Amino acid sequence: MYGPPGVDVGDTADESVSTGDGSARLSGRAELVPRLLVPIVLVVVMAALAFLLSDNVLLTLQEVLALAVFATATNLLLGQAGLVSFGQAVFYGLGAYTVALGWLHWQLPFWATFVMAPVLGALVAVPIGLVALRARRLYFALSTLAFSELAYQLAESRYDFTKGANGVFGTFVPTSLTFPRTGYLFVLAVTVVSLLLLWKVNHSPFGLVLRAIRENRDRMQALGVNVYLHQLIAFVISGAFCALAGAMFVVFSQSSYPELLDWTTSGEPIFMAVIGGMGTFLGPAVGAFIYQFGHDELVRYVSDWQLVLGAVLLAIVMFWPEGLLGGLGRLGKILRKRGGNR
Amino acid sequence: MSDDILLSARGLRRTFGTFRAVDGVDLDVRRGSIHSVIGPNGAGKTTLFRLLTGILRPTAGTLHFGGEPIAGEPVHVIARRGLVQAFQATNIFPRLSVRESLRAALVSRHGRTRDLLSWSQPAMEQEASALLDTVGLTRLAEEEAQKLSHGDQRALEVALALAMRPRLLLLDEPTAGMSPFESRKMVQLVQRLAAEEHLTVILSEHDMETVFGISDRVSVMHQGRVIADGPAREVRANSDVMAIYLGSEA
């Protein structure tokens, strides 16, 4: 279902290696090379940008990359498992606070807290998932929203521990990462590894089971799958990567504050997935680019940028519900079909 | 319980408020047989199927499958034991391709649903291809399930159940909504599976030609109870059953 940009729902990345006969497998391996070429070139170009772009743009790109991981991890639930969670900000904020509070209270080194963030995200996702996944559809979304509000209120009200509404600001990131170029390259490296891992999960037997559950939960249960357990695993994986994205946020912002935990922050990766295409693997990441750069441009000219965002989202939902990459993928398929018919 | 009996229900009951949808059903299903459960609408057939597969919990009674008690166990546990249903309403994965749908079922049977990092396995793919061949869907393998005809969707439904290598296959009205041609194909498929795979089948069906054409035994339900049970020939000859439930169709 998921694939590289331009591959829409219905195509699988390992389709060509999975037909079972030897020749198809060989051709699958041959196809793998051009498939790998595109992401490799993309990563090289992204890395080269570190030496071409201004510091301001590199800082924005760091934020975009953190949001890309946040959106892709959220889309594991949204696009893959069909679970609309308004609680992923809990993990995003938790990742940021892990780095900030580790430094503030225990003087923990950045590298230790950066590694701890996804582990804590996964651990916290277990009890939240256990409770929220008892509910379905709207009630699941509302449960996760409630957890988000709970986390936000906790962070805001416990001034002694979290510095309340002011948040935590400080020099908890190593000096080498505070330079826009090195910070960008570090965040890019973490993004590449994160997206590779999430891509692998999406294309694994587990990913297929999640999509089947999304399509027909009861049927999958009747085929011997413990739906609750598999959704919980997806929730935990998503929580871990959302927390990692939160820790990445700290690299360029050098701060952590309660708004990161708010449910409106949970809405952002959903917007990004809708814009880029939640039915494609890279759609949410592309959505993050469009959302963040679009936002930065919009605020220069329009004070009520949310109005424009709302209008854009409405237009996408009504006229291009598959999002940018999903729509392009379908367009490509139609053109290929027409070409084939000639 | 005899070794010959694969599924046994004793005093199985399910009530909804004061209404007894299934009321003290006794049922023995022999290994390798095709056992039909018939009765008019509202007789309790679908509720009985739901009790057997674990979708509903019985209010009272016992249920043994392969000698093990299964009453009250979750659906996925009963399915993993080998009691698998192909549903009455087409119950597929609309936006998955036919092949992906079968892969999902096979991944479940092979216990690889929590496998997060592996590539697909050629052996499993060969199994998927063989299943596609069995139900005649090879040419439609890459089509989205929602785009198939009704008959092909029912064939996929059966293939999904077969992917679990069931010991007992429950078929709830497998020919409902099918054209005569599709119905014949489905009946032939069920007969072939029972003969070649030694599969035990419980069948719920309204078409009496189908029922008496392929069944070894028939149980007749009425108002939640089994009112007649025996070899198909005997039940067919039962004048009370004929008069009340089968009418002129038989």
Instruction: Report which of residues A200 and A337 the model is more confident about.
Output: A200
pLDDT of residue A21: 41
Q: Which of B108, B122, B142 lies at the smallest CB-CB distance from A223?
A: B108
Instruction: Report which of residues A100 and A26 the model is more confident about.
Output: A100
- Please list, in sequence order, all residues whose beta carbon lies within 8 angstroms of the beta carbon of residue B148, skipping any fewer than 6 positions away: B98, B137, B140, B156
A contacts of B126 (beta carbons < 8 Å):
20
In angstroms, the separation between the Cα of residue A188 and the nearest Cα of chain B is 22
Lowest mean pLDDT among A7-16, A25-34, A91-100, A240-249: A7-16
Answer yes or no: is pLDDT of A5 > 80.
no
Q: What is the pLDDT of residues A233-253, one digit of tens each?
A: 999 999 999 999 999 999 999
pLDDT of residue B2: 67
Q: How many helices (H) and strands (E) does chain A have?
A: 15, 2
3 state DSSP class of A255:
strand
Q: Which of B77, B85, B107 lies at the smallest CB-CB distance from A208?
A: B107
pLDDT of residue A186: 96
Answer yes or no: is pLDDT of A7 > 70.
no
pLDDT of residue A208: 94
Q: What is the pLDDT of residues B136-155, one digit of tens each?
A: 899 999 999 999 988 888 88
pLDDT of residue A342: 59
In angstroms, the separation between the Cα of residue B107 and the nearest Cα of chain A is 7
A contacts of B84 (beta carbons < 8 Å):
222-224
The CA distance from B111 to A181, in Å, is 46
- Which among A194, A340, A278 is positioned nearest to A9, based on CA atoms? A278
Q: What is the mean pLDDT of residues B109-128?
A: 84
In angstroms, the separation between the Cα of residue A231 and the nearest Cα of chain B is 11
A contacts of B125 (beta carbons < 8 Å):
18-20
Answer yes or no: is pLDDT of A265 > 60.
yes
Asked if residues A116 and A233 have their Cβ atoms less than 8 Å apart, the reply is no
Nearest residue in B to A231, CA atom: B114
In angstroms, the separation between the Cα of residue B31 and the nearest Cα of chain A is 21
Has the ipTM of the complex gone over 0.85? no
Q: What is the pLDDT of residues B14-35, one digit of tens each?
A: 999 989 999 999 999 999 899 9
Tell me the DSSP string of chain B: --TTEEEEEEEEEEEETTEEEEEEEEEEEETT-EEEEE-STTSSHHHHHHHHHTSS--SEEEEEETTEE-TT--HHHHHHHTEEEE-SS----TTSBHHHHHHHHHHHHTT-TT--SPPPPHHHHHHHHHHHHHHT-GGGTTSBGGGS-HHHHHHHHHHHHHHT--SEEEEESTTTT--HHHHHHHHHHHHHHHHHS--EEEEE-S-HHHHHHH-SEEEEEETTEEEEEEEHHHHHH-HHHIIIIIGGG-
Provide the 10 A C-beta neighbour count for residue B38.
Answer: 25
Grade residue A1 by pLDDT with cuts at 50, 70 and 90.
Answer: very low
Q: What is the mean pLDDT of residues A118-134?
A: 96
* C-alpha count within 13 angstroms, C-beta hemisphere, residue B214: 29
Token couple for A287: 């959505």
Token couple for B121: 């396995």
Q: What is the 3 state secondary structure string of A115-160?
A: HHHHHHHHHHHHHHHHHHCCCCHHHHHHHHHHHHHHHHHHHHHCHH
Nearest residue in A to B162, CA atom: A223
Domains and CATH numbers, chain A: 15-341 (1.10.3470)
Answer yes or no: is pLDDT of A195 > 90.
yes
pLDDT of residue A71: 96
Q: What is the pLDDT of residues A35-66, one digit of tens each?
A: 778 889 999 999 999 999 999 999 999 999 99
Contact at CB, B113 and A206, closer than 8 angstroms: yes
Contact at CB, B104 and A10, closer than 8 angstroms: no
Answer yes or no: is pLDDT of B243 > 90.
no
Radius of gyration of chain A (CA): 20
Q: What is the pLDDT of residues A138-185, one digit of tens each?
A: 899 999 999 999 999 999 998 888 888 888 888 788 888 989 999 999
Grade residue A14 by pLDDT with cuts at 50, 70 and 90.
Answer: very low
The rounded percent of chain A whose pLDDT value lies above 90 is 59
Grade residue A340 by pLDDT with cuts at 50, 70 and 90.
Answer: low
Q: What is the mean pLDDT of residues A303-320?
A: 83
The CA distance from A1 to B100, in Å, is 9
Scored b (16 or more CB within 10 A) or e, A273-304 reads bbbbbbbbbbbbbbbbbbbbebeeebeeeeee
Provide the 10 A C-beta neighbour count for residue A166.
Answer: 12
The overall average pLDDT reported for chain B is 87
The rounded percent of chain A whose pLDDT value lies above 70 is 89
* C-alpha count within 13 angstroms, C-beta hemisphere, residue B179: 6
